[in-house]
A and B are shown apart, each in its own frame.
Chain A
Amino acid sequence: MSAVDLDADTGLRNGSFSHVSLPRYASLLVVVIALALSALLVLLLGWNWVACPVVAAVLTVIALPLWSAAVENRRKAVDRLVTSLVWCALLVALVPLVWVLAQTVVKGAPELTGSFLTHDMTQKLDPTTFKMLPGAGVAHALVGTLLVTLGATIISVPIGLMTAVYLVEYGRGKLIARWTTLLVDVMTGIPSIVAGLFALALFTVISGVGTRFGLMGSIALSLLMIPTVVRSAEEMMRLVPNDLREASYALGVPKWRTIVKMVIPTAFGGIITGVMLAVSRVIGETAPLLVAIGSLDVMNTNLFSGRMQTLPVYILNEYKKSTPHDYDLAWAGALLLILIVMILNLIARIVGKIFAPKTGR
């Protein structure tokens, strides 16, 4: 290297465009060596194994830029430093996600059986020992969650969508629209238990103390859903170009038909995605449901009468029972909840794709 006359600042051979650069496998090599070194260090010093990736990351972040600075130029060294930092951040962000998912699958999957999915928690008589066996099923909670969330969606979507239509198409710059936007923003931040208490208080006034039924939960959840639906529908409808509205008006189409037949269909994919995200957000809510619906060990499919069980509350109950088997049931319930949210997200993506404005030939 000393034979070549290098520019100190850029690392270029004087008068040449070509660089001296590290081999392509340099980053990989450094990471592997760092891992090996840190593993050795952990073994020798008897540290916890958790220290291994941390030490390796630190070693990589230090060593790679130094090596680069020695061989390449300053710009490349900074590039390698920032690249390693970004990779570290990504891994740190991914660790809890993957960990939670893996843990839930490992602990929950064995319990997620056909019998678990089709039974509720009713006690059963064992025919040979004549002992009462506790039930081990989630069917009632699954049905309850789906019903309560469906109820919340049916309440929230029309209200949210119409509010968004008002904000985008009619209320531009008006005082009431500004207040609505402000209140929607505030509502996005209300603690979920407050929504539960609101539903409880509402129905205590209407039908007396101690009222509990599924629809109360739906109303509590819809309080949490409406702001999200309004926000996303509003954003999506604002994205519809004004040109299209004018094109529609110019064809002699009244404003309401323009909104119903042109603006909403054009924004439909985005609105559906927003609704699904709102559903995913509320489907895992525990506190408002515990307050507003309570909990029940048997199947109740009537939204309008009596307590119901829901998945989050089921998980909480099983966790509180504190036996190993009940812990497993709680994990299985959690896995089921994650699966539902995943399926909803998949559906949202597919529906969004189908209804997205088509640009291809």
Chain B
Amino acid sequence: MAKSIDVSDVNIYYGDFKAVEDVSMTIKAKSVTAFIGPSGCGKSTFLRTLNRMHEVIPGARVEGKIVVDGQSLYGSSVDPVEVRRRIGMVFQRPNPFPTMSIYDNVLAGNRLNSKKLRKSESDAIVEKALRGANLWTEVKDRLGKPGMGLSGGQQQRLCIARAIAVQPEVLLMDEPCSALDPISTAAIEDLIHELKSDYTIVIVTHNMQQAARVSDDTGFFNLKAAGQPGHLVEFNPTKQMFTNPDNPDTEAYISGRFG
């Protein structure tokens, strides 16, 4: 199921402003790829182009080629809705749907698309997704309660369960732990390790230790100067990145000598 992603010569714009320029990389299937870099360097923007969430913002557009499993994401006949259905996303802040129960939140991807499900089927999907997100034992007795009643870390895992309930091929995570405490963060990192066997995972993080802990490959984004577009400085296996990076800027950033 999991797919690899080939990115070549991608430029990303907000209106006339070029936010990210000239990114090329290959994201391997069934692996975790982390993006690190200072704030505003375009990591999140780039992540959002991988499932066409970028264009939800008015005036945003993308040049270049992103190919998932042989299919170009930005071809003229590609339906962005179908892309998002197969490339799921988890956001920085936990955002369960406030009107829905835990159960309905997990099923939201199916329910909102009006997929007809028998009770036994939906029960199975909910249990599988919640188990997949390591949340089942904590919430199995209160599936009917509102999702907003959970703690922040549980809400985030609920959002991951919601994302994997539609069985995507790729899972994008935009700083999924930045609003969480260390224990919840550890729970989600464990989860990422487990999910790796089924999904291609791309994660943006500000936490370099986290990138080192969870990822197989790491991309370092940076800005030349304020107001300049962000660019990919280095993309290498995580081990090499944290021990012997090719680029001196990467080493400066990782060792904390950077701005």
A residues within 8 Å of B by Cβ? 172-173, 241, 243-254, 257-258, 261-262, 265-266, 268, 355, 357-361
Contacts and interface: CB of A to CB of B under 8 A. Distances in A.
B163 interface: yes
A327 B142 CA distance: 60
A254 B98 CA distance: 19
Contacts of B142: 361
B108 A251 contact: yes
A359 B112 contact: no
Given A266-B98, A357-B99, 5 more contacts: A251-B85, A252-B84, A253-B113, A257-B112, A265-B99
Contact of B98 (A245, A246, A358): A358
B81 interface: yes
Interface in B132-180: 142, 145-146, 148-149, 159, 162-163, 166
Interface string B74-104: 0000000111111011010101011100000
Given A257-B114, A358-B148, A359-B146, A250 B84 contact: yes
Contacts of B159: 247
Interface in B97-125: 97-99, 108-109, 111-114
Contacts of B114: 257
Contact of A252 (B56, B82, B146, B149): B82
Contacts of B88: 250-251
Contacts, number: 91
A244 B97 CA distance: 7
A250 B58 CA distance: 17
Nearest to A266: B99
B98 A357 contact: yes
Interface centre among B58, B93, B97, B142 (most CB of A within 10 A): B97
A253 B99 contact: no
Contacts of A252: 81-86, 109, 113, 166
B51 interface: yes
B53 interface: yes
A247 B91 contact: yes
A120 B199 CA distance: 73
Contacts of A358: 98-99, 146, 148-149
Which of A241, A251, A358 has the largest number of chain B CB atoms within 10 A? A251
A98 to B, nearest CB: 38
Most B Cβ at <10 Å: residue of A247, A266, A268 = A247
A251 B112 contact: yes
Contacts of B166: 251-252
B181 to A, nearest CB: 19
Contacts of B82: 252
A171 to B, nearest CB: 11
A196 B70 CA distance: 64
Give the 9 A-B residue pairs with the shortest CB-CB distance, closest first: A252-B85, A357-B98, A358-B146, A250-B89, A251-B109, A361-B149, A243-B95, A253-B112, A252-B84
B95 A244 contact: yes
A172 B95 CA distance: 23
A301 to B, nearest CB: 38
B112 A248 contact: yes
Chain A CB within 10 A, most for which of B95, B146, B148? B95
A267 B166 CA distance: 25
B56 A261 contact: no
Contacts of A253: 81, 109, 112-113
Contacts of B112: 248, 251, 253, 257-258, 261-262
